Amino acid sequence: MSSNSLSSFSTSSDPQSRSTSASGSPLLAGLNPPQQEAVTLPPEPALILAGAGSGKTRVLTTRIAWLVSTGQVSPMGILAVTFTNKAAREMLARLGAMISVNLKGMWIGTFHGLCNRFLRAHHRDAALPATFQILDSQDQLSAIKRLLKALGVDDEKYPPKQLQFFINSAKEQGLRAGDIDDSDGYNRRHIELYQAYDDQCQREGVVDFGELMLRSVELLGRSDAIREHYRARFSHVLIDEFQDTNPLQYQWLKLLGSPGGGIFAVGDDDQSIYAFRGADVANMHRFESEFGVKHLIKLEQNYRSHGNILDAANALISNNAGRLGKNLWTEAGAGEPIRVMETSSDLLEAQWVVEEIKGLIADGQLRSDMAILYRSNAQSRVIEQTLFHAGIPYRVFGGLRFFERAEVKHALAYLRLMENPHEDTAFSRVVNFPARGIGARSIEQLADLAKQQGSSLYSASGLLDGKAGTSVRGFVQMIESMRFETQGLSLRETVQVMLERSGLVAHYQAEREGQERVENLEELVNAAAAFDYDAVVADPDAPAEQAVMSALSAFLSHASLEAGDNQAAEGQDAVQLMTIHSAKGLEFHAVFLTGLEEGLFPHENSMTELNGLEEERRLMYVAMTRARRRLYLSMSQTRMLHGQTRYNMRSRFMEELPEGNLKWLAPRVAARSMSSMSAVGGLDDSESNWRRPAGAWTRQGMGQSNTGGGGGQPSSLAWSGSAGHESGYKVGEAVRHSRFGDGVITALEGSGNDARAQIRFKRDGSKWLALSVAKLERV
DNA sequence: GTTCCACGCGTTTTT
DNA sequence: CGCGTGGAAC
């Protein structure tokens, strides 16, 4: 922060300078003082608290460029780690534009990608075969199902998904089966199955995502020589999105970072939204003390959003306890107020969004610079339909990605078998696909034999009698001959031969709906042709530590680690639809944040979890800070969910936003207190207006008399109680229960005997009660 | 081996 | 309501 020589373009300063003030390097031009300070810190532990839109990635990449270009470190001494392939690619691209050195000497990649590279180099020490393959989540689940079947475990009692979650959670904590406490006996079976699963993976020579990390951590911990080698090599370790690290990744960093050395972590505790998958923000606090952080720099100047958006986001997030503390500011001015709309139905909400989008398009905005965000994927349907009817191009993020498609996975399974025939997951997947008369019966027999022998299905195939044996051996021979035929061929030719000989292409060509699948298989050939072996594996500066790895093996790792694009075809200018989670890291001119309703956002399932509400609030913070100029918030009084209409209360987050930053567009019912609400509204006065055609939705409001039209300033506690429920109860109504005491109805759903109310009790928290059973009295 | 229906389930997601 | 799974029937 002390640096005051802004972006001077002085050319006289020494490029080798290690001074912490601006050295005059053109790299530093345009950076603000704290950014410059961060970029030019000495090689000591540093934590950069980088708020949303504060230039986090820029600082990270500029630091690498600065370190290398000032000769403080050779590219080989850089280890930079990210969470997603996209982030890693972006970092590489930006570096390439900044400096002209061989980037390949650097280790830049995802945690998992780098662990893969590490384990390939040290597979012997890690007790893995050179050809080990990586299971993605789907593969892992099928491996678990196969395991449960082999062990005769009732998968009703031990759902495979649950076991998968158990195993992954344990690994994320750095725990092996033997490390887990089973004193209460509750987990005992899970622990046994975890162990059995690991044994199976070991036998088959496969690792799951968690295993990539855990093996690496164990090896680094166990082998002083290897650990010291890498510590000596990587004088600079840089981590992006540090708030998303799980305890295992933290351990990995601890093993690779030299104590007191150049470890540079960038993160934002307010944007930690992945606790549900093992991330632990506490790692940031831990990092500060355990690594002995010498430099704590806050990047608080936001270059993205206007003031109203930022102020509201700041106010919201200040409701969270235990923050590292940070307040974003901008020079950009207040800008437009945040526009808020409340509708009576989810369809009307969608129609309103579409009308606003039409307006923005008419003003010349790019569709791709507008995003519609929602908490859960199920919400996208109405919006999609409405956009579709309006003829507005849109693009939905999420869904199946290229390497996750069934036909592609089948093809990959053949390739995996060519690489390692003992991989039972791949074997089971395609032994009878395309169908070749090897039914469930035959596979069961084969599995029994394999279990007796403690061998793979492939090895056991020789022992299988009868017709089944002949068929299976036919399959095995096919794999062998594919392997033989492709020796010396390029990766692309290998894939082509496999597609031909396996009969996959023929199978899909014969299928009526198979055209797209054939195209995907062709695309796989293209992917193989385009695959750059060096980009994934090569480490030209360190040939000694590089194990020999076939191009096929590298390609398969690539396919597992990078599932490919999951968005619809690019190119067309389209409105972006995505969950808030997938919006992290992105920005848009205009953002529509929809479904701001209790139970949906914050999600009802989050309320029971410890810190769940705070994570929801951070999610809201992330969502709001995606907007550059214009932010819309919307909510609906009723929503179709799971085939039933739900009556929701406005999200509590709305009450945490300063009124001064908002502009209400919706007609509103002013209510002074909760108890007066039951007297307000009813369906009558608003219904006719709510049914206006979409085109009538304008900023000037709906002519509701009791609010003075759109743009009025409501009292922040107001609840627009115009939505009723057949039971006669209303959301927001205060009730008393004989056992739980006083509470407020937060949601109503169902009808008749199924009618239920969600009630937030003062004492016991939120509960769903059946209205036909619960004894409620109105207060 | 394929097709069809009944059932169950339903935050968020990268690697 | 809409999807994916799984079992049963053709």
Regarding predicted confidence, which is higher, A515 or A343?
A: A343
Is residue A585 pLDDT above 60, yes or no?
yes
Contacts of A257 (CB under 8 A, 6+ apart): A45, A231, A237, A263, A291
Give me the catalytic one of A208, A241, A419, A615.
A241
Q: Name the average pLDDT for chain A.
A: 85
Torsions phi, psi for A302 (to 5 deg): -95, 130
What's the confidence (pLDDT) of residue A670?
Answer: 40
What is the mean pLDDT of the segment spanning A533-545?
51
Mean pLDDT of A427-437: 91
Q: Does residue A157 approach strand C to less than 7 Å at its CB?
A: no
Q: Decide if pLDDT at A63 tops 70.
A: yes
Amino acid letter for position A762: K
Q: Please check whether residue A45 is in contact with residue A295, taking contact to mean a CB–CB distance below 8 angstroms.
A: yes
Ranges A33-37, A342-346, A770-774: which has the least confidence? A770-774
- Strand B, nucleotides < 7 Å from a protein CB: these are 1-2, 10-15
Residue A639 sits at φ, ψ, to 5 deg, of -150, 140
More confident residue, A89 or A572: A89
The answer, yes or no, to whether residue A17 has pLDDT greater than 50, is no
- Count CB neighbours of A400 within 10 A: 12
What is the rounded distance in angstroms from the CA atom of residue A152 to the CA atom of residue A172? Answer: 27
A479 vs A420: CA distance, rounded Å:
10
Whether any strand C atom is under 7 angstroms from the Cβ of A774: the reply reads: no
Distance, CA of A419 to CA of A498 (rounded, Å): 12
Residue A560, token pair as written in the block = 């597992």
Interval A210-215 mean pLDDT = 97
The CA distances from residue A147 to A199, A387, A612, in Å, are 10, 45, 33
A161 in catalytic set: no
Q: Which secondary-structure segment (H or E) carries A49?
A: strand A46-50
Q: How far is the CA of A156 from the C1' of B5 (A)?
A: 22
Distance, CA of A746 to chain centre: 29
ω into residue A434 within 30 of 0, thus cis? yes
DSSP string, A671-724: -SSGGGGGGS--SHHHHHHHTS-GGG--TT----GGGTSTT----TT-------
Distances (CA, A) of A540 to A59, A211, A544: 27, 26, 9
Chain C nucleotides with an atom closer than 7 Å to a protein C-beta: 1-2
Q: For residue A378, which nucleotide's C1' is closest to its Cα?
A: B10
C-alpha A44: how far from chain center = 30
Q: Which pLDDT value is given to residue A440?
A: 83
Residue A569: per-residue pLDDT: 56
Quickly tell me which residue has 């540090």 as its tokens: A242
Nearest nucleic acid nucleotide to A376, CA to C1' distance:
B11
Question: CA-CA distance, A340 to A712, in Å (whole number)?
Answer: 11
Who's near A389: CB < 8 A, 6+ residues apart? none
pLDDT band at A637 (very low <50, low <70, confident <90, very high): very high
The predicted model gives A658-673 an average pLDDT of 69
Are the C-beta atoms of A213 and A248 separated by less than 8 Å?
yes
Residue A7 CB: number of other CB atoms within 10 A?
A: 15
Query: What is the pLDDT, as a whole number, of residue A566?
Result: 62
**β pairing state of A588-593 and A370-374:** parallel
- The pLDDT confidence band at residue A19, using thresholds 50, 70 and 90, is very low
Checking each nucleotide's C1' against the CA of A141, the nearest proves to be C5
CA-CA distance, A165 to A158, in Å (whole number)? 11
